[in-house]
Amino acid sequence: MKALLTFTTAFAWALTANLAQARDLGPDEALRLRDNGVIQSFEKLNAVALAAHPGSSITDTELESEYGKYVYQVELRDTKGIEWDLELDAVTGQIYKNHQDN
């Protein structure tokens, strides 16, 4: 019983730690970061994402703080109707992830 309690406690702690590592940033905070030059403009980040899939359109965006980094998430739909999920470093514009949405 003690082992089960220890495992349950460790699992709950790990889950909470992971949730605490990523948080969505609201529009006001995102604009403040952009205006202060901390992150690139959303136009530049969108251009990087669109260049990865020419002819596509943006369907959703989100800015998160993950493990001390600002990550800009972009969802695209290409000309064939395929949806793509991209994650970019909001400071440098580097693409971290670029995969087809399932």
The domain tally of the chain equals: 1
Residue 81 lies in a domain: yes
Residue 10 lies in a domain: no
What's the DSSP call for residue 38?
S
Residue 94 lies in a domain: yes
Question: Is-contact 58 49, C-beta < 8 A?
Answer: yes
Q: What is the CATH number of the domain that holds 57?
A: 3.10.450.40
Cross-strand bridge partners of residue 16: none
Question: Is the model more confident about 89 or about 14?
Answer: 89
Token pair of 16 as six digits: 């909470």
Residue 96 lies in a domain: yes
Residue 55 lies in a domain: yes
- What is the model's pTM? 0.77
Give residue 58's domain range.
23-100
Q: Does residue 101 surpass a pLDDT of 90?
A: no
Q: What is the pLDDT of residues 53-88, one digit of tens each?
A: 999 999 999 999 999 999 999 999 999 999 999 999
Residue 57 lies in a domain: yes
